[in-house]
Amino acid sequence: MKVAIIQHVIRQDDLNWNMQHVSELMDKQAGADLFVLSETFATGFMAEGSADKAGMQGMMVLNWMQRQASRLNAAIAGSVATKDDDGKLRNRLYFVRPDGFYDHYDKRHLFSFAGETKEYVAGDRRVVVHWRGFSFLLQVCYDLRFPVFSRNRGDYDAIIYVANWPEPRRDVWQTLLKARALENQCYVIGVNRVGSDSACEYQGDSVILNAYGRAIAECMPGKVDTAAAQLDMEELHRFRQKFPVLADSDDFLLASEKKNL
């Protein structure tokens, strides 16, 4: 499977410009099976007035993703601020397929340091999606700091992290992406934006890591860029069989799962 990572700038709350910008970058990786965009790629993180506009904008972005997935005959992953059926604001990662069908994951760990918990509601579902023979765990930005929630239970082959991760903490981003690949014996796809907003600078450091924690595709830091890599299921299975870390891992349930028993 060919996975393309799209490292792009974001004009704050400029929906049309951002979607056109991303569309042009995706065209540079035509033939990919999966395109991964950043967190809140169409508006920017915590965009002004996001609570008021989220319902309408969220649907517009989803419809755009569906059209692009059909045009490219590929899946597209990226997050958007949107409202659920109860009117609650969510940071929602969509995984959209060419036929228009999609799955979504609502960001579980909200970034309280930046005030995300004041407006948004956290998700409570761990979501694994399946596409062209691979299984992907969906995660958003701050989720990267919480390894228990992303622990591999033998149910996925790769983790997708979409982010607006600031430049001062770029070493944390790079270190934890590598850790997630190593401890879970999986591919890790990390896509972060570049440019700036009113609060932060962003260096990107978007990358695809293999199960050895080695970069097999990466974007130039601080630049608008794209990159792609082939994920090899046979190679992944050989490594897991040769070095069976997952078979020796601890069994556990999260507190939220215990409540549903």
Reduced 3-state DSSP string for 154-166: CCCCEEEEEECCC
Which DSSP string corresponds to 91-126? EEEEEE-TTS-EEEEE-SS--GGGTHHHH-------
Q: Are 77 and 61 in contact (CB under 8 A)?
A: no
Q: Which of 83, 107, 116, 219 is catalytic?
A: 107
Is residue 39 flagged as an active site residue?
yes
Is residue 200 flagged as an active site residue?
no
**How many CB atoms neighbour CB 91 within 10 A?**
30
Q: Which of 83, 116, 141, 186 is catalytic?
A: 141
In Å, what is the CA distance from 141 to each residue of 137, 172, 251?
13, 12, 26
**How many CB atoms neighbour CB 164 within 10 A?**
24
Is residue 118 flagged as an active site residue?
no
Instruction: Determine the 3-state secondary structure of 228 from DSSP.
Output: strand
Q: Round to whole Å and give the CA distance between 113 and 143.
A: 14
- By annotation, the residues acting in catalysis are 39, 107, 141
